[in-house]
């Protein structure tokens, strides 16, 4: 320890000499660029980092080894030396047949996992023939109205050999039941089914606003799926706690991480309250984060996230299984960072963001296509986005060693700063009574609104440079080929399919299943050990439509109307 102090003292003396001999003259020439601190993304960034900035740094406490607490260097001992991250490209558009073709194409191009984008009516729990669906069927994702559509969506894809992620929230339990029913028809046992259900309803109230039901029954559905998954699907993640949409709504990186972790805490507490031991479901919780433009901040965010979650699971919730301590995460490059102006610049942005995610140690990654700010990606643009990951994986050398940025004075200092600021937010949320109460009071919503407004002010003032938007602007728009979707044509196809389905199914059996579901939703039927999932599965297998099942819940629970947040 004495030798360490002497070494730090020597470095500090050298730094002071550098300031006197080199920096002071530079300050006189360019004081604005060379000043001691610059505020970037809310952080005070020093002009230079040295061991003096990590004077109390402890290797075991702050860094350690990958796969071991505090997980700064990664959740697995070998990380990408043992296995690359899953290349899971988000895809879905039009009718199920079209998305099935895109899935098959991406798998043939080397994609290693599926990720389903649903259209807006599906996300809101409406069938394609509902008046609220008009003009939106198949437009921002694939239309799925019933088990019949899900069968087409995964036709010819062996679901025992591929993991599937489904970006769905309010109707998550219903779409999951449809997927499980397809697996049943393929003969895939539940213990072979792997994948992830987004199913993070709290971030819908906070950011994305695709809620349907009030908070309490919405949380009931999430807990129900966690319980069902823990009992029957050992390889499935029943909830993907998602900061991505929080960041897309305008939050800072700190807010994204803090609010996501707080959402995760709420799910853990609600599931434990329902009677399940934390280690029975903790290993199957997963996360989903955004990857924005500030390269080193994003790396630090992932490293700090693992430390915070591991400590919470061990110390607050008493998890004994080391797998419960692991924050495993999917990531997606920032959609809100893409620009319609000079869209080919987006290829560069996505590559840099993807590299930050990989250096940050993610387990799964989606890279956005260059045209996604204008339309759903074309096959060509999606291929470039996938090739971006493959080039990073196989040509850059960043996977040759684990945590290549570990030990950087700057990265370690920034990781520590991010972690401290996240804990500060978590303490505030605790004081409000937890995340559910905080959401009811509008705390995270207001924090995000304020952060988004502040950022937009800096862009409009030119303080935050967005290439091609407020600086280096081109006079002529770059031509980009776009994928054209005709919602009316797709709606006609889907409506006809619904009518044919209702004409050939056992409508008496459907009604019986929906009546049983209604009783369970209203708390009058204990069948299925108080879980809704068995009743939902029964309705799905009978070919009840998404709208019919969600209609039962709407009748039982009502719909949520967000109050004004002042």
Same domain as 425, residue 401:
yes
CA angle 267/270/272 to nearest 5° reads 105
Same domain as 282, residue 211:
yes
Q: Is 565 within a domain? A: no
Q: Which residues pair with 242 in a beta bridge?
A: 288
- As averages over each run of 10 residues, the pLDDT of the chain (566 residues) reads 67 72 65 56 82 87 94 97 94 95 95 94 98 95 98 96 96 98 97 97 96 96 96 96 97 98 98 96 97 97 98 98 98 96 96 98 97 92 96 97 96 96 98 97 96 96 95 84 89 97 97 96 64 96 98 97 82
Same domain as 357, residue 281:
yes
Is the preceding peptide bond at 70 cis, omega within 30 degrees of 0? yes
Same domain as 127, residue 45:
no
The two beta strands, 37-40 and 43-46, are antiparallel
Q: Is 471 within a domain? A: no
Q: Which candidate, 30, 60, 64, 59, places its Cα nearest to that of 47?
A: 30
With beta carbons less than 8 A apart as the criterion, state whether 547 and 125 touch: yes
With beta carbons less than 8 A apart as the criterion, state whether 44 and 417 touch: no
Sequence-separated contacts (24+) of 511-520 with Cβ below 8 Å = 512/542, 513/538, 513/539, 513/541, 513/542, 513/544, 514/539, 514/544, 514/548, 514/549, 514/552, 517/549, 517/552, 518/552, 518/555, 518/556
Distance CA 155, CA 144 (A): 14
- Domain of 321, CATH number, reads 3.20.20.240
Distance CA 31, CA 245 (A): 39
Q: Is 523 within a domain? A: yes
Same domain as 512, residue 437:
no
Distance CA 171, CA 288 (A): 19
With beta carbons less than 8 A apart as the criterion, state whether 75 and 361 touch: yes
Same domain as 74, residue 131:
yes
Same domain as 221, residue 164:
yes
Q: Which candidate, 293, 295, 269, places its Cα nearest to that of 282?
A: 269
Rg from Cα positions in the chain: 25
Helices (H), 187-250: 201-203, 215-232, 244-248
Same domain as 252, residue 138:
yes
With beta carbons less than 8 A apart as the criterion, state whether 301 and 360 touch: yes
Q: Among residues 45, 60, 75, which one ends one of the domains?
A: 60
Same domain as 456, residue 541:
no
What pLDDT was estimated at residue 524?
63
Same domain as 517, residue 408:
no
Q: Among residues 60, 78, 100, which one ends one of the domains?
A: 60
What pLDDT was estimated at residue 476?
76
Q: Is 467 within a domain? A: no
What pLDDT was estimated at residue 27?
60
Q: Is 476 within a domain? A: no
Q: Would you state the structure tokens that stand for residue 247, as one six-digit string?
A: 């960041």
Helices (H), 66-214: 79-82, 96-108, 120-123, 147-153, 172-186, 201-203
The two beta strands, 164-167 and 195-197, are parallel
Q: Is 496 within a domain? A: no
Q: Among residues 29, 60, 91, which one ends one of the domains?
A: 60
Distance CA 180, CA 191 (A): 11
CA angle 508/511/514 to nearest 5° reads 150
Q: Which residues pair with 285 in a beta bridge?
A: 239
Same domain as 513, residue 454:
no
Distance CA 368, CA 404 (A): 25
Distance CA 283, CA 277 (A): 11
Q: Count structural domains, the chain.
A: 3
What pLDDT was estimated at residue 532?
95
Residue-range definition of the domain harbouring residue 522 = 505-557
Residues 6 or more apart whose Cβ sits within 8 Å of residue 269? 317, 434
Q: Is 483 within a domain? A: no
Same domain as 41, residue 74:
no
Q: Is 474 within a domain? A: no
């Amino acid at each position: 320890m004495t030798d360490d102090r002497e070494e730090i003292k020597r470095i500090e003396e050298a730094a002071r000499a550098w300031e006197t001999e080199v920096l002071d003259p530079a300050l006189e020439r360019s004081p604005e660029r060379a000043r001691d601190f610059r505020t970037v993304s809310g952080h005070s960034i020093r002009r230079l980092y040295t061991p003096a900035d990590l004077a109390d740094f402890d290797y075991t406490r702050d860094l350690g080894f990958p796969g071991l607490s505090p997980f700064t260097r990664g959740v697995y001992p070998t990380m990408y030396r043992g296995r690359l991250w899953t290349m899971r490209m988000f895809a879905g558009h039009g009718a199920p047949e079209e998305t099935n073709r895109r899935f098959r194409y991406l798998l043939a191009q080397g994609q290693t996992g599926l990720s389903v984008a649903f259209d807006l009516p599906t996300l809101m729990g409406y069938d394609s023939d509902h008046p609220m669906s008009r003009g939106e069927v198949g437009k921002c994702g694939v239309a799925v109205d019933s088990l019949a559509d899900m069968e087409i969506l995964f036709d010819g894809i062996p679901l025992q050999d591929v993991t599937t992620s489904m970006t769905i929230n309010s109707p998550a339990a219903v779409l999951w039941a449809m997927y499980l029913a397809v697996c049943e028809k393929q003969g895939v046992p539940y213990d072979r089914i792997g994948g992830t259900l987004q199913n993070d309803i709290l971030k819908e109230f906070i950011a994305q606003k695709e809620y349907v039901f009030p908070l309490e029954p919405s949380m009931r559905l999430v807990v129900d799926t966690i319980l069902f998954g823990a009992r029957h699907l050992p390889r499935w993640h029943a909830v993907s706690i998602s900061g991505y949409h929080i960041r897309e709504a305008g939050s800072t990186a700190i807010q994204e991480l803090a609010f996501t972790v707080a959402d995760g805490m709420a799910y853990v507490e609600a599931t434990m309250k329902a009677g399940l031991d934390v280690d029975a479901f903790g290993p199957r919780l997963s996360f989903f984060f955004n990857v924005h433009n500030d390269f080193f901040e994003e790396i630090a965010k992932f490293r700090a996230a693992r430390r915070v979650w591991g400590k919470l699971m061990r110390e607050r919730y008493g998890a004994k299984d080391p797998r419960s301590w692991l924050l495993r995460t999917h990531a997606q490059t920032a959609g809100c960072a893409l620009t319609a102006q000079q869209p080919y610049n987006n290829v560069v942005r996505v590559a840099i963001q993807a590299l930050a995610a990989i250096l940050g140690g993610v387990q799964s990654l989606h890279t956005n296509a260059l045209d996604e700010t204008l339309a759903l990606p074309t096959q060509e643009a999606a291929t470039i986005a996938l090739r971006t990951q493959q080039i990073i994986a196989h040509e850059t050398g960043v996977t040759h060693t684990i945590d290549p940025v570990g030990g950087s004075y700057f990265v370690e200092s920034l990781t520590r700063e991010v972690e401290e600021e996240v804990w500060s937010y978590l303490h505030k949320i605790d004081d409000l009574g937890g995340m559910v109460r905080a959401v009811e009071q509008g705390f995270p919503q207001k924090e995000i609104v304020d952060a988004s407004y502040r950022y937009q002010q800096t862009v409009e003032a030119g303080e935050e440079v967005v290439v091609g938007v407020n600086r280096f602007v081109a006079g002529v728009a770059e031509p980009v080929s776009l994928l054209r979707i005709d919602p009316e044509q797709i709606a006609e196809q889907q409506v006809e399919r619904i009518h044919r389905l209702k004409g050939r199914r056992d409508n008496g059996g459907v009604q019986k299943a929906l009546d049983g579901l209604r009783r369970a939703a209203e708390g009058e039927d204990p069948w299925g050990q108080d879980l809704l999932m068995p009743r939902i599965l029964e309705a799905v297998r009978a070919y009840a439509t998404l709208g019919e099942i969600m209609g039962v819940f709407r009748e039982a629970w009502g719909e949520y109307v967000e109050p004004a947040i002042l």
